[in-house]
Structure 1
Amino acid sequence: MTKEETVSWFGQEFVESDAKALGTYIAALVLRFQVRYRTDMSVLSTDMELWELRIKPYVALLLHDPEELRDAVAAGKRFLKVFVQQTSIEEYDTVIDDLELAHYETFKAAYLRHVNRSAITGTIAGSNASALVGRFIRDVATNRFSKGRTTMMGSTILVSPVAELIQHYNFSHEDATRFMEILRLAGIMFLDIVPAPVLEVEFVESLG
């Protein structure tokens, strides 16, 4: 099956606004990295309220307008429903990766427009938070942090970020926890997932 065939069911309605693109993208990332296909999918795909509880907190990190948040969550729920209908379990990873690749520029633009930069403030262990975030992103991009699964575009899940922040940055556990909260609130890492758009050089350079 070609890439075009695997994503032929994916229409413009999933990405026609920033809100819908973000809801779809975050849903796809949560599926790819935090859902056990053989045990979780049968429950999640038939209980949209449960799926909403899984994705809404992370969509809400990026979208603060109630109407946009509703649109995003609705898109994420619709994505799961159609995804399960159109995709066999053996193809789940491949299809999500192909979707990210095929629509990456749309996902990237929407994601980077809504990163919560105001959360990147203060100091951690005497260092500027913005500088630390830039260092962290570069270190993830260059594989200094241990990664689990990774998509073709580079979205990944970190194996033990707290322990490695303590090791590489000489953080205390409290420092590492505070830094993780900054990353989460900014939308740079959630559920230990680092989306590919925040690894882009243009984003790192924009942090100053």
Structure 2
Amino acid sequence: MLATFPTTAPEENNLIQCDADRGFISWLSQAGGSVAITTYQAGKLALVGWNGQQITMLLRQFSKPMGLAVNGSRLALATHHEVCLLANAPALAYEFLEDQPGRYDALYLPRMTYFTGDLNIHDLEFGREGLWVVNTRFSCLSALRVATLLKKQKGKCTHCGMYFREEDVLEIDHITPKSMEGKDEYKNLQILHRHCHDEKTTEDGSVVKYT
């Protein structure tokens, strides 16, 4: 047996008719959370929840939303050319709607954006050392390392101490070279200018010279 409930898409003011199985309704009423659904064909992120009496659905517009991951109070969403990181601000959620205080118990605000280009990121996940994405365009897994390292280094090259500029060519360096048993993990990585990277690899002896 199916129960039917209506919802409205605010940006289009169109009524959307939805059907929910009674078993799903029963489960959702006890789940203590919401179900997030992305549909890149319609360009929507749908949040299906329970307001204490019935199912609710909130729609938000994104450009080609695909992969979605949650880690604690953080949410990562892959879109057409970006991966957006959002964080929950529950203190602001209660009064988000002035005429309906308390309607929402969570409010996710954008905190950071990775500009990836069109990689068709169908899935992503928070790992121990950062965010991993399924890079369908190039049939591989990718780690969003550069932005994390830039934040850690506060926008500076650790070799010369200068701030990075938009036109600079940057490279990821292993602080302890892999040729010297350095590990491929965040605590052993840093961002350097290309010319600083060349100098550093010459100094630490990790460049193999042929004679």
Give the number of the structure with larger relative contact order, counting CA–CA contacts within 8 Å between residues 6 or more apart: 1
Give the TM-score normalised by the residue count of structure 1: 0.22
Give the TM-score normalised by the residue count of structure 2: 0.21
More helix by share: 1
